[in-house]
Structure 1
């Protein structure tokens, strides 16, 4: 089953978060490329033409990883005409989590974003050739209306922004207890977070359940994230 992220310039469609917001059921999910049944914890693809996330089996995701790394123009073994090679219609979402101990994104920088909640994520949309900023809300993924130039200086505060792979990775920020956390994460977990917040949010501030879910989510991200290599941090050390 495909998952459709919010397309910049449009309202976030509720069906776009159906997989992450709906209760787990016996639904059988299949790989978008070869139709093989996929289990829990399977990887995802970004369909760059439809601006959607799709399920992927392990072999197809690995094929796309290798095609992307090789820069091959050859078609893969998936659906005929799907253009699954690196640079084609589908791109595998990688499984890397990075933290930048030297980032300089502080509360003043966050204020310049003018985002009304304490969480936001940014990714490069290759089709539009622009950076997109989104944040979770009770209605789904909401796009920041600031122009890219307005918050580019904020992104200059971390070397992670320069490491983002277009379409498939995001810069995830959280303002919490007087500081800003900053991670590079797979794009699909950002939409998972949006779905979880939409499912649990209550009242004006989200309520205790949503806050606890958010804390657990970021604890998982911290556990998975490894520090960006020092030679890529730009901290002068």
Structure 2
């Protein structure tokens, strides 16, 4: 049955809300230019504690000392691992992380380490005493290289072994978002575990042993 004539203008007005919208392109958070979704850079807004998309030019500008009075910091693109550093079960238990994945970064404004882990609710913070951090990870060469706000130590415990990587902070939040989207049941489910395996395979392939070079 067709709509009464009086209602047709209203229906036409509603169509703009009902019709599927084309995805909006990613834009640089500083200059608003459209950026390549697959290859753009990220900045950390240290005031808002948020990631900001950036074009290559703005990201390079924010790498310069004193740029934007230090508010925006470009996220580096280095992946490092330390084959000589080992974490045993006792060390992991001292971190008091209830799942097998966590990442740690130094908040420059608070001048302390922040420990986070993925959960169905997103990134969940775990209280971490400075003495515990020093005892478990403080003597790692990766910890000495860690840049505040923009890099993280990413840990994964599997079958009694613990891998540790120095990575860009944005991929940690990418992992959190992926786990939140895929998580099912108590342990995350098969799809989430498969995505986690693929994620760490990618990180493992990119990571270079720390030693001869600090930044690729």
Residue number in structure 2 paired with 1:37: 34
2:47 is equivalent to residue 49 of structure 1: yes
- Residue 25 of structure 2 corresponds to 28
Separation (CA, whole Å) in 2 of partners of 1:196 and 1:231: 31
Q: Please say if 1:101 is aligned against 2:83.
A: yes
Secondary structure (helix, strand or coil) at the match of 1:136 reads: strand
In 2: Cα distance, 1:57 partner to 1:146 partner: 35
Q: Counterpart in 2 of 1:123?
A: 105
- Structure 1: unaligned runs, 5 residues or longer: 1-24, 76-82, 233-237
Partner of 1:136: 118
Distance 1:55 1:102 in 2: 35
Question: SS at 1:38's partner residue?
Answer: coil
8 Å Cα contact 2:86-2:162 kept in structure 1: no
Q: Distance in 2 between matches of 1:223 and 1:210?
A: 20
Matched with 1:13 is none
Supply the distance in 2 between the matched residues of 1:148 and 1:28 (Cα, whole angstroms).
Answer: 42
The residue number in structure 2 matching 1:17 is none
* Alignment size in residue pairs: 192
CA shift in 2, pair 1:159/1:139, >3 Å: same
Deviations 1:59-87 (A, max 9, x none): 1111222x1xxx3x4x5xxxxxxx2xxx6
Distance 1:230 1:182 in 2: 18
CA distance in 1, matches of 2:114, 2:130: 8
Give the Å deviation of 1:33.
Answer: 1.1
Task: Return the index of the structure with the highest Cα Rg.
Answer: 2
Q: Deviations over 1:145-166 (max 9, x none)?
A: 2322233211125210110001
Q: Cα offset for 1:127?
A: 0.8
* 1:104/1:158 contact within 8 Å kept: no
RMSD: 1.6
Of 173, 176, 195 in structure 1, the residue corresponding to residue 177 of structure 2 is 195
Q: Which residue of 2 aligns with 1:179?
A: 161
TM-aligned CA distance change 1:110 to 1:157, over 3 Å: farther
Q: List gaps (5 residues or longer) in structure 2.
A: 1-21
Q: Matched residues in 1 for 2:76 and 2:23: separation?
A: 26
Q: Secondary structure at the match of 1:133?
A: strand
Once the two structures are superposed, residues 115-165 of structure 1 have per-residue CA deviations (whole angstroms, 9 ceiling, x without a partner) of 100000000101111110000011110001232223321112521011000
